Amino acid sequence: MKRSNLWLFLESELLTNSTFADISDVAHHKYQVLEECLFYKLTKDADQMQGKSNALMLLPPTVAAGEILDVQVLHAGVRQMWMVGEQDYIDTAACYLDVLQNEVFKEMNINGYLKLSWKDRRLRWDPSEWKTDTLTIKSFGRLWVPDINSDKHQTGQQSSDYVTFQSLSTNNNGNVTGRLEFRIQAHCEIDYTEYPSDIKHCCFNLQSTLYKRYIKFYLENEDGYCLRLEHLDISQLKTNWHIENSWVKKSTQEGDNKADSLEVCVTARRRSTTLAVELTLPVLISALLLLIAPFFGKFDQQIKVKMFALLLQFMSFQFMADKTPQLGFGSTVPKIYVFYAFTLAVTVISLIVTVLIAAMSRIKRKVPPAHRFTLLASVLNANLCCGSEEDPVTDGTSSKDASADWLQIHAAINNLASCITMVVYVIGAIVIVF
């Protein structure tokens, strides 16, 4: 085959020992010319080896029946994560509301990379002749690379997905390394138990479409080959999600157990401090009012405080309902909802008890209570330090008016009920939270 004038020029300029002694003596622009010359030579050799033009770009390294290509996964990382519909990475209530309105799709955009390596026998050369043992591929379109894509890459709703190779390079032994950049809409299983710090377990698959059984994946860590690569690199992660667990696992393609695929999974917890404060602060204030209501004194004052706490709880619950995903939480009941319901129930029961005791205390009674009950009520009222009632005003004409004694007993019952309410509420809140 007759060589072109360009090849003759490059060969005369770069392959004579008088031109340079070592690669360190070659200027940067001359080194780029050297790489172009080397790639041109490898392209010509590949065309002759495989009997087809542009074989290095169009054909895989091996063509014999039964041969496979081992693709090693050396490293994996995640750079960005955001829910479908999320407009910003800043943790704000407006942004969060927009995410909740789109969270019905249960999809997370994941932007990351895989560092891959494979053998290409066509990319071998003599380093003593070319004075270099590495070659940078300027564009992955000039070299055949494994066709690794998302398993949903061709569906209409996945049009925003992309997978592309970058930073391709090879050494003189034909060992090719490259970084597979991806942005995939991964399907997520959502655990709302800790809402608004909910947990999302998101997974997607990467696989070959044209060479299903030809490409075999191998995962490699510090201990050697493995079936699962734990803990993806998140040092460059910029998001309002906290990665709790992540891995890359080798699996088989659906419908073909002889075809390999890579399952990439990320378990992330939402970091939404501002929204958590917005949801919990009002109900905590109302709970505080419920607990300190007995210290306001008279029955009517306690009733007013508890009714205000109840109103505040209803308003807080309505505010939280506006933050709920459109289709709810499924079969999961978030802890914060249980806490709201528990606080509301305790407030209603406490209010009813206080109203009933206040109503009974207004009844005029002629028969005095048993003396032991009067003494017990006095001891309770003196030690519980809760609300107390003023003795009723009498005209002094009747010696059988025992309303004052009964009032002290009713006050003691209310104080005792308030103390029980405090203990039950604190214990219940601890159980719910932890």
DSSP-assigned letters across all residues of 229-240: EES-B-TT--SS
Q: Three-state SS across 168-191?
A: EEEECEEEEEEEEEEEEEEEEEEE
Q: How many CB atoms lie within 10 A of CB 318?
A: 9
- Measure the CA dihedral 126/128/134/139, to 10°: -60
| Token output for 290 | 């419920």
* Three-state SS at 27: coil
pLDDT value for 365: 78
| Token output for 74 | 């050396």
My answer on whether omega of the bond before 368 falls inside 30° of 0, hence cis, is no
Cα–Cα distance list, 13 to 10, 125, 405 (Å): 5, 18, 116
* Three-state SS at 110: strand
Residues in the chain: 434
Q: Please state, in angstroms and rounded to a whole number, the distance separating the CA atoms of residues 323 and 232.
A: 32
Give long-range contacts, CB 8 A cutoff, 24+ apart: 422-430.
Answer: 422/291, 424/346, 425/287, 425/290, 425/291, 425/342, 425/343, 425/346, 428/342, 428/346, 429/287, 429/339, 429/342, 429/343
Q: Where are the alpha helices (DSSP H) in 362-402?
A: 371-384
Q: Where are the alpha helices (DSSP H) in 52-171?
A: 55-58, 93-102, 127-130
Q: Please state, in angstroms and rounded to a whole number, the distance separating the CA atoms of residues 274 and 281.
A: 11
Residue 12 CB partners (closer than 8 Å, separation 6+): none
* CA dihedral for 107, 111, 117, 120, sign (positive or negative): positive
Report DSSP letters for 276-320, one per residue. Answer: HHHHHHHHHHHHHHHHHGGGG-SHHHHHHHHHHHHHHHHHHHHHH
pLDDT value for 6: 46
Give the mean pLDDT per block of 10 residues along the chain (434 residues): 47 48 56 82 88 87 80 91 59 44 68 93 88 83 88 58 90 93 90 88 91 88 71 85 90 86 92 85 88 86 91 88 72 87 93 92 81 80 63 54 80 88 93 88
Q: Please state, in angstroms and rounded to a whole number, the distance separating the CA atoms of residues 4 and 410.
A: 110
Q: Please state, in angstroms and rounded to a whole number, the distance separating the CA atoms of residues 224 and 22.
A: 35
pLDDT value for 304: 92
| Token output for 188 | 């997520």
Residue 83 CB partners (closer than 8 Å, separation 6+): 99, 102, 103, 107, 108, 109
pLDDT value for 95: 44
Alpha-carbon radius of gyration of the chain: 37
pLDDT value for 98: 45
Cβ atoms of 110 and 186 closer than 8 Å: yes
Cβ atoms of 293 and 309 closer than 8 Å: yes
Residue 259 CB partners (closer than 8 Å, separation 6+): 207, 208, 212, 213, 252, 253
Tell me, rounded to whole angstroms, the distance of Cα 52 from its chain centroid. 48
The pTM score is: 0.73
Which run of H or of E encompasses 49?
helix 28-50
| Domains of the chain, first to last | 1-58 (no CATH), 60-271 (2.70.170.10), 274-433 (no CATH)
Q: Please state, in angstroms and rounded to a whole number, the distance separating the CA atoms of residues 270 and 91.
A: 10
pLDDT value for 96: 46
